[in-house]
Structure 1
Amino acid sequence: MQSRRVQVLLAACWSSSCLASISNVPDFATSEAGNPFVDGWYADPDTQFYNGEYWVYPTSSRPYDDQTYLDAFSSPDLVHWTKHSNILTADNFPWAHRAVWAPAPIYRNGTYYLYFGANDIQSDSELGGIGVGVAEHPEGPYTDPLGRPLIDAYHNGAQPIDQDVFIDDDGQAYMYYGGHSHANIVKLNDDMISLGTFDDGTTFKEITPENYVEGPQMLKRNGVYYLFWSEGGWTGPDYAVSYGMSSSPLGPFDRIAKILQQDEAVATGSGHNAVIQVPDTDIYYILYHRHPLGSSDGNDRHLAYDRLYFNDDSTIEPVKMLVHDNFEDGNMIGWETYGGGDWDASANVLRGNGGLALVNTNFSDFIYEADVKVSEPKNNDCGCHGHAGIVFRVSEASAENATFKGYYAGISTSGALFLGRVNGAELTVLASEEAGVVTAEQYRLKVTADGSSIQVAIDDEQHTAIKVTDDVYGSGMDGVRIFKAEAEFDNVNITRITSS
């Protein structure tokens, strides 16, 4: 994919000047402004870099009969995203009437191309397969140059879905595609809307690697061709991404390893990936969809991305789903509020004046850090001290009154640091120390929970730290709480503690 990214970049602006349009290089460990990085149910993302912006083209994750359109998202920095609705609709493709899936974008010859699967055909007697749309702009509208599918039948057992398009350094374009546990590669002619032939006269070559199910994706980096694919069932928790390597775009692609799979503390069903490179760097991200914890609907899928790291031997490290949020995108996507209160992140920090805000996680042993600023409420009629802080191992949260079960590490407007165990409306203070904190100043609050051992510190113990042993709650959601105060939170970071 490196080759096609660079070719798109050159075709779009013909010089490195367009790199200057990126205000700063997105050198992140994950989506620092939080995953999911866009709102709504989407799946099967593919990506391109067009005219100084990152573009993501996903499937709309809905029942098949409702999948009659495609949306896209663009961003100058992988943080601030703009939604482009209905860039392709079935109205412009008379043969496509349902299951419009897995768009694959590419730019060539002054034209933007978008390949997609439609109708989920189960046999050659049905109308459907892989289509292609053309447009003058990345956001469409995409129209049908053929009036029919580009690939409309099974070949080598491969269902015509889940296409990825790649242009190699020599200018040859390829399409990798296939469902039903078979993968093919075809050549695309220079017009990008017709198929070429290989030297042996064939059009379809099977390249199915071990454990392949669907969702092929091609990346070229430093002369190595990487084929990614998805394994398992897309509705289940075992959906995952593996990869193989080759010195040729035609393979063979021997399976190296599984690099992305569910994390029962973060999300399940992580698969159908894309890879995007930050131009003129060796920074890569893997984009994918995943199911939120506790969801039983296979169509409940969000988009996420994390960093892709390469070893010295060109193999890929396993991907870690990280939980970060610096609110630089100005929203609370991924957070749910409980118990009223006003919450807002439009100023690039999370502000509130009461209640709970939680992320859907289920960590047991972890390090949880966040910047916290606590202030007296504007109307403190009771003259009492309020508090705010971070909550963890949370369950049974009440949307009505913000009661829950779990732990609460808080900072009081009196200047104290405390750790409490919460059981519904009852707060039992397990430990408290005079920390000398000042209201309306920001502090870094850190919780380290490892089994029954819980430690709370402010600014890496420059002020104070408390330690307790308590095993009432073993795992649960994470978030923040405010009681009779106003507070700001920023730079949330939750990291699993792994046994050595």
Structure 2
Amino acid sequence: MRKKISIWLLAIPFIYACSGNQQQSKKSEKGEEQRQRFLSPPLIRSIYTADPSAHVFDGKIYIYPSHDIDAGTPENDNGEHFAMRDYHVLSMNDINGQVTDHGVALDVKDIPWAKQQLWAPDAAYKNGTYYLYFPAKDKNDIFRIGAATSTNPMGPFKALKEPIEGSYSMDPAVFIDDDENAYMYFGGIWGGQLQRWETDSYEANGSLTDLKQDDAPAISCRVAKLKANMIEFDGPVEKVLLVDSAGKPILGGDHNRRFFEGAWMHKYKGRYYFTYSTGDTHFLAYAIGNSPIGPFTYAGHFMKPVQGWTTHHSIIETEGKWYIFYHDTELSGKTHLRNVKVTELTHNPDGTLKMIDPFKIDSLSN
């Protein structure tokens, strides 16, 4: 979501770096003229939105994105130019339906403990209450994860007076299993500060990245079981074990496979799919396990780089099909002003995920 624009410019082909309102023409290997276009249109154009967490509540699709604004903050590796201040809730009656923006559901000024930067949220429902989970920097500029509640999926949400005890970093994602047990996955390195919590206490002078730990197990996402009240951790925060096919931990130097940010969990045919962003290599990757807390065995990439620095996703099932919600920069061409999208997600017969290319190519030849 955040950082290292210079790396992005070097790493992503020029077709991804162009303005979102342009289309690229090129020659195929057979000499045919081709045009590359975006796979899916933005769901909403009236505001900039990113990090879409989608859920189906009572047969209707609700999307809980972050709300990008141009705050005029210079870009830096801590992602301070992502200066989001509030959350809007979007809804759709069905996957092809009109998108409704229900306005501000929660504002940073109404969160007692928060100072700034309302980054990627998530939502859940249990026992008549809707929960909005969100990261924000506290008064000491340390990311914590808060919770807010409402009796309406559209909000408005009322924030708790304090962040969730024991929480830190960013990108909360809550998964409720078939047995009604709920789990929160969270964390992101670099600007998300996860690397500063490797000793289970905050190290203010911690390294900005994990790039100097190439031969050690990569910094990992965190998972914690939630109590029945959905606003407290039920036990210790654990590190998600992400391993290769031989059962060995993914290493910090393996930037094509290591966890960076943006975790999500979905369950398919009894197996748990832990999906996440690789960050500076710009892929969405997945790993599969037999338990919601892992370990998870790396299985591959399932989405190629979007236009923009990276992507952040969610996955839902509705009307018998699976869909991925994600973002890119089609509308603005600017890394910090994004727009949310949706496209179908396919589980192959062997349980793997079909690769998604966020662009499509049309032949222009006669």
TM-score, L = length of structure 1? 0.52
- Shift of residue 52, structure 1, vs aligned partner: 2.5
Alignment of 1:141-152 (within 5 A): 141-145=156-160, 147-151=161-165
2:49 aligned to which of 42, 48, 54 = 42
- Count of aligned residue pairs for this structure pair: 274
Q: How many angstroms does 1:268 deviate by?
A: 4.2
Instruction: Note if contact 1:61-1:300 (Cα within 8 Å) is conserved in structure 2.
Output: yes
Return the alpha-carbon distance in structure 2 between the equivalents of residues 41 and 278 of structure 1.
25
Correspondence 1:104 to 2:122? yes
Instruction: Tell me the C-alpha RMSD between the 2 structures.
Output: 2.4
Amino acid at match of 2:41: N
Residue 47 of structure 1, CA deviation: 1.0
CA distance in 1, matches of 2:180, 2:313: 24
Q: C-alpha displacement at 1:93, in angstroms?
A: 1.1
For 1:65-464, list aligned pairs within 5 A. Answer: 66-78=83-95, 79-119=97-137, 126=141, 128-145=143-160, 147-151=161-165, 154=168, 160-180=169-189, 181-197=219-235, 203-209=236-242, 210=250, 211-233=258-280, 238-262=281-305, 267-279=307-319, 281=320, 283-292=321-330, 295=333, 297-321=334-358, 366-367=361-362, 448-449=363-364, 454-455=365-366
CA contact (8 A) 1:216 1:227 kept: yes
For normalisation by structure 2, the TM-score amounts to: 0.70
Residue 208 to residue 183, structure 1, CA distance change in 2 (3 Å): farther
Give the whole-Å Cα distance in 2 for the aligned partners of 1:120 and 1:318: 38
Contact 1:48 1:55 in 2 (8 A): yes
The alpha-carbon deviation at position 223 of structure 1 amounts to: 0.1
Amino acid at match of 2:233: L
Q: Secondary structure at the match of 1:119?
A: strand
**For 1:61, which of 50, 58, 68 is the aligned residue?**
68
State the distance in 1 between where 2:146 and 2:289 align. 28
1:101 is paired with a residue whose SS is coil
Q: 1:8 matched to which residue of 2?
A: none
Asked which structure has the greater CA Rg, the reply is 1
- Structure 1 residue 126: Cα displacement: 4.5
Say which SS state the counterpart of residue 109 (structure 2) adopts: helix
Q: After TM superposition, give the deviation of residue 170 of structure 1 in Å.
A: 1.2
Name segments (4+ residues, structure 1) moved above 6 Å. none
Displacement of 1:298 = 1.9
**Equivalents in 2 of 1:293, 1:126: separation in Å?**
31
- Where 1:242 maps in the other structure, the secondary structure is strand
Tell me which amino acid in the other structure corresponds to 2:322: Y
Partners of 2:53 and 2:121 within 8 A in 1: yes
- Pairwise CA distance, 1:133: 0.3
**Secondary structure, counterpart of 2:232 in structure 1:** coil
Comparing both structures, which one devotes a greater share of its residues to strand? 1
Counterpart contact for 2:173–2:186, Cα < 8 Å: yes
1:427 counterpart residue number: none
CA shift, 1:294, in A, is 8.6
Q: Distance in 1 between matches of 2:138 and 2:352?
A: 34
Report the residue type matching 2:112 in the other structure. Answer: P
1:357 equivalent in structure 2: none
1:360 is matched with which residue?
Answer: none
Name the amino acid aligned to 1:109: N
Deviations 1:418-477 (A, max 9, x none): xxxxxxxxxxxxxxxxxxxxxxxxxxxxxx33xxxx20xxxxxxxxxxxxxxxxxxxxxx
Q: CA deviation at 1:293?
A: 8.8
Contact 1:288 1:303 survives alignment (8 Å): yes
Asked whether the 8 Å contact 1:270–1:291 carries over to 2, the reply is no
For 2:349 and 2:39, the matched residues in 1 are separated by: 29
Unaligned runs of 5+ in 1: 1-31, 155-159, 198-202, 324-365, 368-447, 456-500
Displacement, 1:322?
Answer: 5.3
Distance 1:56 1:220 in 2: 19
What letter is aligned with 1:215? G
Tell me the CA shift for residue 134 of structure 1. 0.3
* 1:91 counterpart SS class: helix
Asked whether the 8 Å contact 2:312–2:326 carries over to 1, the reply is yes
Counterpart amino acid of 1:163?
A: P
Q: 1:272 to 1:151 in 2, by over 3 A?
A: farther
Q: Which runs of 5+ in 2 are unaligned?
A: 1-37, 72-79, 190-218, 243-249, 251-257
Shift of residue 153 of structure 1?
5.4
Task: Measure, in 2, the Cα distance between the counterparts of 1:127 and 1:231.
Answer: 23
CA drift at 1:169: 1.1
Report the identity percentage: 29
- Tell which has more relative contact order, 1 or 2 (C-alpha 8 A, sep 6+): 2
CA, structure 1 residues 61+120, in 2 after alignment: closer, same or farther (shift >3 Å)? farther
